[in-house]
Amino acid sequence: MLKNNTAELLEWINELNKTVHVSIRKNRLSDSDFWFYDAERGEIANKNRSFFTVKGLRKTVDGQVVLEQPVIIQDEIGYLGIICKDFDGETHYLMQAKIEPGNINKIQISPTIQATKSNFTQKHGGKRPAYLDWFINASKHRVIVDQIQSEQSSRFYKKRNRNIVIKIEEDIEVLPSHRWMTLRQIKELMRYDNLVNMDTRTVLSCLPLGQKEFSDQIRDITLYRSVIGNQNILPEIYQYINNYKMFDEGEFALIRLDELRNWDFTDDGIICREPYSFKVIFCDIEIEGREVRHWTQPLFEAAGIATFALLIRDHGGVKEFLVHAVPEAGCFDKIELGPTVQREFIHHGEADAVEMLFDENLKSGKGVRFDTLLSEEGGRFYCEQNRNIIMEIEKDALNELPEGYFWADYNTLSRLISVNNCLNIQLRNLLSVLEW
């Protein structure tokens, strides 16, 4: 059934939220009969050795420890997949109303399928995820996107997922948990706090806007010129990133949780003795309609709301984006391009010229084009929402950029998205909310 009215989509979500049973409460690790601390390996794991484990991560520079923290180890690559189809000349995307244990508001709009490898190989003993076969047999359809992209590298260690969009012509059963939506509707819904989930945002950020079927939909002429642009900044970006990868002296090692020297590991969780951006908690979860309805697991709980911001400008009639090369503890290859500002609730260090301009403009609301609270990965993070901001500045507001910043057109960023692990998930999420 097609629901072309955004108000009807909101009503659908609201009604589901009223009727679905969800119970998420914090408990202790010892309360779980599935998760446990493996004293031999020094990690939190489950009896099936599936899903993920929690270990310690240590970074040293010249033999000196500069970072220690818990980290999620999830080597398997999962599906984040969306099916699309044309109706009356307009492409619609089959979206799912899905609850993750860490969601702040129960149901969020999710991809057609959102499944770890443990899910779709049924290691948990649950039901086979709906629509899985369409992606297993994706080569039989038109593949618009098929990229392996990174996840949050401050919490995950080298975690990646498969972002895939396929276009079909066949009829398909629409389950009660799913609805067809246009891209404009999804973008409109992104302006509601915590409604469109992170997995939807990262998949849609990979759409090849340079292809005619997408570029013809762009109404913003400066964005259109940016999408078809021919900026030649890639060599400069690659040189900076490759120099970092070659010459950075930091060494990472996975360590036992009981070797984390500044963290207290108890039956209630893993908490840093100093202010830190997150802690680890344990939860008892019951969600109606899931493949498995009741389970326990660890979740990472943020200390507060982080800020992710993308500064944009009109440069000669072309929209440009200010990106910042950001190294992170769990990054697959040390460093990726991130948004202009990527600031945890608890952060250290002085603001540079770019951050000072951002902070000054934010106080007055100057140039703010988007400002919404958006949730992070609800499958591993507990009620984490972060502030996502797009801010337009004057073209000459930043005459000289600090090291690691680059003005890039959308064509450049799109080319980098097509290469795995170049743009981090915070930047991709911000690109997904752009109004066309």
The string of pLDDT tens digits covering residues 133-153 is: 999 999 999 999 999 999 999
Length of the chain: 436
Q: Residue 342 forms beta bridges with which residues?
A: 308
Per-residue pLDDT of 151-183, as tens digits, reads 999 999 999 999 999 999 999 999 999 999 999
Local structure of residue 235 (DSSP, 8 states): H
How far is residue 309 CA from its own chain's centroid?
14
**114 bridge partner residues:** 80
pLDDT tens, residue by residue, 33-58: 999 999 999 999 999 888 899 999 99
Task: Give the distance, in angstroms, between the CA of residue 423 and the centroid of all CA atoms in the same chain.
Answer: 11
**78-87 vs 160-167, strand pairing mode:** parallel
Distance CA 262, CA 272 (A): 6
Q: What is the pLDDT of residue 2?
A: 57
214 Cα distance to chain centroid: 22
Confidence band, pLDDT 50/70/90 cuts, at residue 122:
low
Residues 290-339: pLDDT tens digits? Answer: 667 889 999 999 999 999 999 999 999 999 999 999 999 999 999 999 99
Give the C-alpha separation, 17 to 195, whole Å.
Answer: 12
293 with 286: CB under 8 angstroms? Answer: yes
Q: What integer pLDDT is reported at residue 127 of this predicted model?
A: 74
Is residue 307 within 8 A of residue 343, CB to CB? The reply is yes
The predicted pLDDT at position 411 comes to 97
**pLDDT computed for residue 116 by the predictor:** 80
Type and span of the H or E element at 254: strand 251-255
Residue 288: phi, psi to the nearest 5?
-70, 140
Encode pLDDT of 342-385 as tens digits.
999 998 888 999 999 999 999 999 999 999 999 999 999 999 99
Q: E strands along 335-427, which residues?
A: 335-338, 341-343, 368-375, 381-382, 385-392, 405-409
Q: Read off the pLDDT band of 5 (50, 70, 90).
A: confident
- pLDDT value of position 22: 87
Q: How far apart are CA 313 and CA 407, in angstroms?
A: 9
Say how many C-beta atoms besides its own lie within 10 A of residue 29's C-beta.
20
CB 411 within 8 A of CB 322: no
Walk me through the domains of the chain, giving residue ranges and CATH numbers: 224-248+304-432 (3.90.79.40)
Q: How confident is the model at residue 4 (pLDDT cuts 50, 70, 90)?
A: low
At residue 35, the 3 state secondary structure works out as strand
Phi, psi of 417 (to 5 degrees): -60, -35
Amino acid at 67: L
CA distance 126 to 289: 11
Mean pLDDT score of the chain: 94
Residue 201 has phi, psi (to 5 degrees) of -65, -45
Which pLDDT belongs to residue 293?
80
**Whether pLDDT at 387 is above 60:** yes
Give the three-state DSSP class for 307: strand
pLDDT at 123: 60
Crossing angle of helices 198-205 and 425-432, in 10° steps, is: 80
Strands (E), 288-401: 294-302, 307-315, 318-327, 335-338, 341-343, 368-375, 381-382, 385-392
Classify each residue of 225-250 as buried b or exposed e, where b means 16 or more C-beta atoms within 10 Å of its C-beta: bbbebebeeeeebeebbeebeeeeee
Say if residues 397 and 315 touch (Cβ distance below 8 Å): no
Element of type H or E holding 410: helix 410-417
Q: Which residues contact 41 (CB under 8 A, 6 or more apart)?
A: 256
- CA-based Rg of the chain, rounded to a whole angstrom? 22
**Angle formed by the axes of helices 410-417 and 425-432, to 10°?**
130
Ordered DSSP codes for 128-151: PPTTHHHHHTGGGSEEEEEEEEE-
CB 348 within 8 A of CB 165: no
Two tokens, residue 115: 């499944």
In whole angstroms, what is the distance from residue 111 CA to residue 113 CA? 5
CA-angle at 131, arms to 130 and 133, nearest 5°: 120
95, HSE (Cβ side, Cα atoms, 13 Å): 31
Give the Å distances, CA to CA, from 212 to 183, 228, 417, 432, 436: 15, 10, 18, 18, 14
Is the pLDDT assigned to residue 420 strictly greater than 60? yes
105: pLDDT confidence band, cut at 50, 70 and 90? confident
